[in-house]
């Protein structure tokens, strides 16, 4: 959950530093206290992005304290022994930069984007709040109201978000991915000082953190500063092993119906439990990624060609796969029925067309076109210094390595049509799926 949108990237003229193999110039090392460091050089402009990623997200929360990871993220903008509440962001701004933070299932991350010569100041402040936050009961009460209002705006006022929560809860029988990142309201209301500090003391430590620095920096200088500011913080010897509750075999097809008078556009969503990208074994995830592109990635995709243009039974069709995840993720299909078409008809049409896709096999021209688009977009992604840091931070907190991140484009290019069909047959199983209908009321057609 990004606390606020931080958009400031000015496109630069030159290209970033690339190693001989055409990949980004990445330097990695580990401090004596086991803190990992990733440096990506990009000298096109005198700016730096400084990020600290913790291997702790909402799926690492204790039972009954949902939302505490995100709550703590907010509280890290309060004071420390040496910084008054709010002084952190004010100092970044006074130095011409901006800062923010975000929380997801598998990580919490803090970042500043600032002129490259201010990197030391950022490290000084960020390392300070890794161990020294000081919270008052007033901070707790105020910020709890803030996250409750955030839930109000993002979720409770949004039928699609509420529907998504129920879908997730039905998808995961045992894993914490079934609990929303922002938290269940009734549990958020009970979050207190002890919950926040307990999560902080357990998970916020150098041996559970990854420093990602991208921009106009020299890796040796980054190492020297990192040693000075982060390297002196003792590792937490009691850091728990990161074990999550895994899913049992999913053996029963699930369906749910969510009705809300605020729904303006009913739709059908199908969610399948799906494997994630694993270190050194990203092939199946790459096949699923391409499957999503082929089926529902844009107006020329298979589902849209058949359902939107030929049969005219939907006004939108999409397929989604998020491969970066520590544990099992989902593969999702979504269809919005056209006027006069029922949700059942739209769902039946979707199932029919997916079955046809699998029976026909992959059209090689479509696959080649998508691979070419990916090559282009990956090159473009390098131009955005925010994106590079996010890519490495997300991957490393989700169990992947720098090598996996760098190999991913080639893994994608190597996927064959047969592998895509095999992955579809394996993953698109009703037994491990949830089918949801988002409805305005009892009317079956709009």
Q: CA 444, CA 434: separation in Å to the nearest integer?
A: 19
If one asks whether residue 256 binds a second copy (CB under 8 A), the answer comes out as yes
Would you say 405 and 395 are in contact if contact means Cβ atoms under 8 Å apart?
yes
If one asks whether residue 237 binds a second copy (CB under 8 A), the answer comes out as no
Instruction: Specify whether 143 is catalytic.
Output: no
Q: Decide: residue 145, CB within 10 A, 0-12 exposed, 13-18 middle, 19+ buried.
A: exposed
Give the one residue of 14, 18, 252, 372 binding a second copy; rule: CB under 8 A: 252
Closer CB to a second copy, residue 131 or residue 259? 259
Helix (H) or strand (E) holding 291: helix 283-296
If one asks whether residue 251 binds a second copy (CB under 8 A), the answer comes out as yes
Phi/psi of residue 36, nearest 5 degrees: -85, 145
The least distance separating a second copy from the CB of residue 337, rounded to whole angstroms, comes to 19
User: CB pairs under 8 A, 24+ apart, for 200-204?
Assistant: 200/72, 200/133, 201/236, 202/56, 202/236, 202/238, 202/239, 202/240, 203/54, 203/55, 203/56, 203/60, 203/239, 204/54, 204/56, 204/130, 204/131
If one asks whether residue 94 binds a second copy (CB under 8 A), the answer comes out as no
The least distance separating a second copy from the CB of residue 163, rounded to whole angstroms, comes to 7
The least distance separating a second copy from the CB of residue 245, rounded to whole angstroms, comes to 4
Q: Which stretch binds a second copy (CB under 8 A): 74-82, 111-119, 372-380, 428-436?
A: 428-436
Q: Which stretch binds a second copy (CB under 8 A): 70-78, 226-234, 241-249, 376-384?
A: 241-249
Could you give the angle at the alpha carbon of 224 between the alpha carbons of 223 and 230, nearest 5°? 75
Hey, which residues between 154 and 183 contact a second copy (CB under 8 A)? 162-163, 165-167, 169-170, 173-174, 176, 178-179
Which are the contacts of 345, defined by CB distance < 8 A and separation ≥ 6? Answer: 313, 337
Give the one residue of 5, 7, 13, 243 binding a second copy; rule: CB under 8 A: 243
How many residues bind a second copy, per CB under 8 A? 38
What tokens were used for 148? 């409750």
Closer CB to a second copy, residue 145 or residue 253? 253
Q: Which stretch binds a second copy (CB under 8 A): 57-65, 115-123, 304-312, 354-362?
A: 57-65
Hey, which residues between 266 and 325 contact a second copy (CB under 8 A)? none
Q: Which stretch binds a second copy (CB under 8 A): 99-107, 252-260, 356-364, 367-375?
A: 252-260
Give the one residue of 5, 7, 21, 246 binding a second copy; rule: CB under 8 A: 246
Would you say 279 and 401 are in contact if contact means Cβ atoms under 8 Å apart?
yes
If one asks whether residue 64 binds a second copy (CB under 8 A), the answer comes out as yes
If one asks whether residue 257 binds a second copy (CB under 8 A), the answer comes out as yes
Closer CB to a second copy, residue 49 or residue 58? 58
Q: Which stretch binds a second copy (CB under 8 A): 35-43, 263-271, 413-421, 430-438?
A: 430-438
Would you say 61 and 68 are in contact if contact means Cβ atoms under 8 Å apart?
yes
The least distance separating a second copy from the CB of residue 433, rounded to whole angstroms, comes to 10
Helix (H) or strand (E) holding 210: strand 209-215
Q: CA 80, CA 71: separation in Å to the nearest integer?
A: 17
Closer CB to a second copy, residue 147 or residue 222? 147
DSSP state of 43: T
Q: Which of 73, 126, 143, 419 is catalytic?
A: 73
Give the one residue of 187, 195, 276, 419 binding a second copy; rule: CB under 8 A: 187
Hey, which residues between 327 and 386 contact a second copy (CB under 8 A)? none
Q: CA 147, CA 127: separation in Å to the nearest integer?
A: 25
Closer CB to a second copy, residue 264 or residue 339? 264
Taking the CA atoms of 354, 355, 356 and 358 in sequence, report the sign of the dihedral they define: positive
Instruction: Tell me the CA distances in angstroms from 298 to 335, 377, 437, one per residue in order.
Output: 13, 15, 22
Closer CB to a second copy, residue 29 or residue 184? 184
Would you say 55 and 103 are in contact if contact means Cβ atoms under 8 Å apart?
no
If one asks whether residue 264 binds a second copy (CB under 8 A), the answer comes out as no
Which parts of this chain interact with a second copy (CB under 8 A)?
Answer: 62-64, 66, 162-163, 165-167, 169-170, 173-174, 176, 178-179, 184-187, 243-246, 248, 251-260, 430-431, 436
Residues labelled catalytic = 73
């Amino acid at each position: 959950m990004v606390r606020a949108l931080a958009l400031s990237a000015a496109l630069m003229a030159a290209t970033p530093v690339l190693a001989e193999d055409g990949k980004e110039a990445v330097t990695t090392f580990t401090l004596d206290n086991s803190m990992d460091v990733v440096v990506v050089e990009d000298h096109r402009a005198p700016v730096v992005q400084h990020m600290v990623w913790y291997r702790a997200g909402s799926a690492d929360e204790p039972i009954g304290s949902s939302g505490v990871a995100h709550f703590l993220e907010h509280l890290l903008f309060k004071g420390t022994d040496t910084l008054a509440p709010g002084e952190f962001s004010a100092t970044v701004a006074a130095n011409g930069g901006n800062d923010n933070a975000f929380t997801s299932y598998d990580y919490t991350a803090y970042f500043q984007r600032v002129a490259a010569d201010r990197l030391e100041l950022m490290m000084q402040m960020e390392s300070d709040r890794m161990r020294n936050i000081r919270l008052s009961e007033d901070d707790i009460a105020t910020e709890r109201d803030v996250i409750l209002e955030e839930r109000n705006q993002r979720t409770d006022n949004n039928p699609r978000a509420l529907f998504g929560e129920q879908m997730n809860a039905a998808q995961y029988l045992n894993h914490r991915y079934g609990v929303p990142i922002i938290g269940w309201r009734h549990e958020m209301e009970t979050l207190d000082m002890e919950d926040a500090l307990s999560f902080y003391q357990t998970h916020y430590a150098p041996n559970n953190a990854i420093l990602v620095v991208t921009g106009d920096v020299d890796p040796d200088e980054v190492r020297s500063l990192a040693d000075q500011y982060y390297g002196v913080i003792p590792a937490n010897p009691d850091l728990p092993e990161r074990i999550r509750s895994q899913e049992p075999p999913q053996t029963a097809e699930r369906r749910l119906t969510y009705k809300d008078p605020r729904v303006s556009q009913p739709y059908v969503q199908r969610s399948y439990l799906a494997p994630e990208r694993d270190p050194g074994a990203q092939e199946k995830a790459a096949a699923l990624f391409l499957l999503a592109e082929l089926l529902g990635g844009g107006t020329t995709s298979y589902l849209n060609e058949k359902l939107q243009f030929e049969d005219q039974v939907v006004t939108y069709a999409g397929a989604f796969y998020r491969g970066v995840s520590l544990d099992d993720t989902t593969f999702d299909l979504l269809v919005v029925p056209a006027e006069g078409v029922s949700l059942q008809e739209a769902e039946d049409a979707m199932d029919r067309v997916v079955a046809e896709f699998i029976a026909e096999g992959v059209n090689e021209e479509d696959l080649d076109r998508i691979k070419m688009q990916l090559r282009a977009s990956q090159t473009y992604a390098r131009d955005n210094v925010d994106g590079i840091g996010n890519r490495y931070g997300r991957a490393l907190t989700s169990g992947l390595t720098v090598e996996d991140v760098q190999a991913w484009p080639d893994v994608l290019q190597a996927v064959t049509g047969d592998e895509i069909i095999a992955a579809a047959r394996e993953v698109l199983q009703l037994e491990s799926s949830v089918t949801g209908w988002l409805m305005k009321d009892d009317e079956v057609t709009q």
